[in-house]
Amino acid sequence: MKTILVLLRSNLEQWTRLLQAALPDHRIITELAQSEGAPIPYAVVGKPAPGVLAAIPGLEILFSVNAGIEGLLESGEVPPGLPIVRMVDEGLAEGMLEWVLATSLAWHRNLFAYRASQLAGQWQPLAEVLARDRRVTVLGAGHLGARVASALAALRFQTSAWSRTPKAIAGVRSLHGAPGLEPAVSGADILINLLPLTQATENLLDRRLLSLLAPQAVLINGGRGRHVVDAAVLEALDSGRLRVAVLDVFRAEPLPADHKFWTHPGVYLTPHVAALTQASTAVAAIADNLRGFEAGAPLRHVVDLARGY
């Protein structure tokens, strides 16, 4: 019977119960001491405390409960050569799709503006545009981005997607690589960022890129805070290049109390909740991957250190 160590700071009882039900032939523990010195080949982690990973005897595979793994990679805590499996599951994808559609449609149908008019006591109808007349670009065409782009295209938005490598999504104009980034972004009314954080994508949403958008565009960032150059977003809002910025992730979290994002009228914040890991779907994804691996299949969603995700 192989052991799985679960190192999480919240919902630990739920994760333990679900993992034991999904993997009854494995032993689920929540503390190193419970192994009594026996090897622990698998660990399920969020943000483990310093020194914990190096102390796990016989560790073979690290399962992250997060889609973003830059925290693990940058911590220096992961033993060299240890495979890291990032979280790819239906719950995350569904949550992100809901958040992006909610924020995109709220801007598209002027709900942000009408709320401001309501609070000011003003009856102020605005021009309404059909989705077919809006240009939308999704940065990232992986498990999350492809689903979002496909859904926006189904609503008849003029949808483009940009990714590191070529991707094909029905009804979506797909561009890739450095040469495809500027054409993908130019003239977009809505720019949605769902990229992973790598050296190549850090600070990608800067003054130059934002200047390519259509006037009065909206920026929706569900990727990582370090994709965004904060000063560039504020400048674009003040100049009218951006009408709205909807931000779920930030360079420092919680967002510092003195940050200008809190009070800028064009910024709408959510506290890193766009796509929360749902224990039920995440456990099913981990269990399915692990059962396949133990039956001889390759592990899925192993982090490629060369590309950073």
Radius of gyration (C-alpha) of the chain in whole angstroms: 21
Residue 224 designated active-site: yes
Cα 92 to Cα 99, 207, 239, 278: the distances in Å are: 11, 30, 35, 7
Residues 3 and 41: their CA atoms lie apart, in Å, by 6
Pick the catalytic residue from 109, 264, 272, 301.
272
Pick the catalytic residue from 147, 224, 241, 243.
224
Residue 272 designated active-site: yes
Q: Which residues does the annotation mark as catalytic? A: 224, 272
